Amino acid sequence: MCYDVIMDEEARARRQSLRVITSEIIMFLTVIITVIILAFLASGYWLNADFKVERQGMLQIHSVPTGADIEIDGETAWLQRTNTSKVLSSGEHHVVLKKDGYDSWEKTINISEGLLYRVNYPRLFLLEREKSIYYKATDFTTALVSPNHNYLLLGDNTTSYTILQLNSDRPESTKLDLLNLKSTDPDAKSPITANSLPALKWDINNNLTATINSKHYKINWRNSEISFIKEPEKPADEPVLPGEIFHFYDETYSVLLTDDLFNLYKKSQDSPELIISTKLDFVPETLKIGNGGSFVFMQSDTNVSVLDMEILKIINWSLDSTDYDWLTSGMLYAINDGKLIVYDFDGQNRRELSGSVAADFPVTITDNKWLYYFSDGNIIREIITK
C-alpha cells in the first residue's frame, strides 16, 4: 500500500516536471519565433494579400499645416494623417493630402524595399485667404528678405535703409544710415564713405554684410555698428571634396558642375566617392542645395533640373517665368503677368495664389502662416495657414 502511494507521488512529480520542462521549451520557442518575426517586420518583410512574403518600405510624411488626411492609391484609413509614418509595399504609390478649407497636394512616389522615404516639404494653402496692407513701401526700389524670412531690407538707392520686421502683427521698422555706422574697433573708422557705398547682403546667420576693398564686414543694424569679419582658417588635414559641400542623412556630399556635366561625390575615408556622373540638358546658371540637403536645384532661364537625394534621381521641368525665387526651402515661386505661381522643388503641385504681384520685389512666408508680397507700392499680407 505504501509502495503504491510512493510510486503515485513519484509519477505525479515526473509528470509535473515534464509539464514544466515542456512549458519552458514552448515559452523559449515562442520568444525565439517572436524575435524572428519582429526582426523580419523591422526589416520590412510582410505577408501580402496572396500570403506571399514581400519586403516593404516606409513613408514618413510631414505637412504644413499638420494633420492633413493622407490618401494612398485612392484609399484612406482611420487616423491616417500627416506627421506620421506608414509602411507600404515597394513600388509606385500615389499620395494625396487633403484638409478641410485648404487646397490639396499630391505626388507619385516610389518606395524601395527596406528603406525610408521622407517627404517633409508639402504645403497646403487656405482656399479663402484674408489679405491686408501691411506696410506702405512706395519710396523703395530694392528689397532683400533675410534667410529666416523674418526681416526685409528696404533701400531707395541712397545711403539710407529700412529694416522691416515681418513676423509681428504690427510692422516694426529700424532705420539704418550707412554713413553713420560706428566701427567696433576704436582705432579704426567705418570703411564706408559717400564715394564707396557697398551692396548689402544677408548672410546665413541673418546678419547684414558688405564687401569693401575685398574685405568682408558685418553690420549690426540694431546698434548701427560695423565690424571686420575674419576668415576662419581651414585645418590642414581637412579632407577635400570638389564643388559645393552639403550634408544629407549625416553623410557629407558635394556637387561639381563643369558646364553641363553633373558630378555628385560622397565623402569617404580615402578619397571622394563618385556617386553620380551625368550630362544635363543645359548648362546651369545657378545651383542651390535645399531643404536640409534633400535636393540639388539647377536652373538656366526657364529650364530646371533637380536631384532628389531621397531617390538619387534627376527630375527635369520648366518654370513659367524667368522671374523666380525661393519661397521656402522646398518651394519656389514665379511671377507671370502679375500672377504669383508656386511650385514644389520638383515642379509638381503648381498653384496660382494671388494676382497683381510686383515682379521686381521678393515674395516670402513667415511663421508658416503669412504670405507677404509687393503690390501697387504696398506690402500685402495674406493668411495662408490658420
Report the distance separating Cα 210 and Cα 199, nearest Å.
6
pLDDT at 25: 75
- Cα distances (angstroms) measured from residue 237 to each of 114, 124, 129, 157, 240: 37, 46, 54, 45, 9
Report the distance separating Cα 205 and Cα 150, nearest Å.
12
* Rg from Cα positions in the chain: 30
Q: Provide the residue ranges of all domains of the chain, joining segments of one domain with +.
A: 2-42, 46-119, 244-383
Domain 46-119 identical in fold to domain 244-383? no
Nearest residue to 349 via CA among 62, 58, 97, 85: 97
244-383 sits in which CATH class? mainly beta
End-to-end CA distance of the chain: 89
Which runs of E-coded beta strand occur in 69-146?
Answer: 69-72, 75-81, 84-89, 91-98, 105-111, 116-119, 131-136, 142-145
Identify the CATH assignment for 46-119 out of 2.20.28, 2.60.40, 2.40.40, 3.40.1350. Answer: 2.60.40
Rounded to whole angstroms, the maximal C-alpha distance in the chain is 124
Using the 8-state DSSP alphabet, how is residue 231 labeled? Answer: P
Can you give the pLDDT of all 386 residues of the chain as single tens digits?
A: 555 555 566 666 666 666 767 777 777 777 777 666 555 555 555 555 555 555 688 889 999 999 999 999 988 876 688 888 888 888 899 999 999 999 999 999 988 888 888 888 899 999 999 999 999 998 899 999 998 899 999 998 888 999 999 988 889 999 999 999 999 988 888 999 888 889 999 988 889 999 998 899 999 999 999 999 887 665 655 556 788 999 998 899 999 999 999 999 999 887 889 999 999 999 999 998 888 888 999 999 999 999 999 889 999 999 888 878 889 888 999 999 999 999 999 998 999 999 899 988 999 999 999 999 999 999 999 999 98
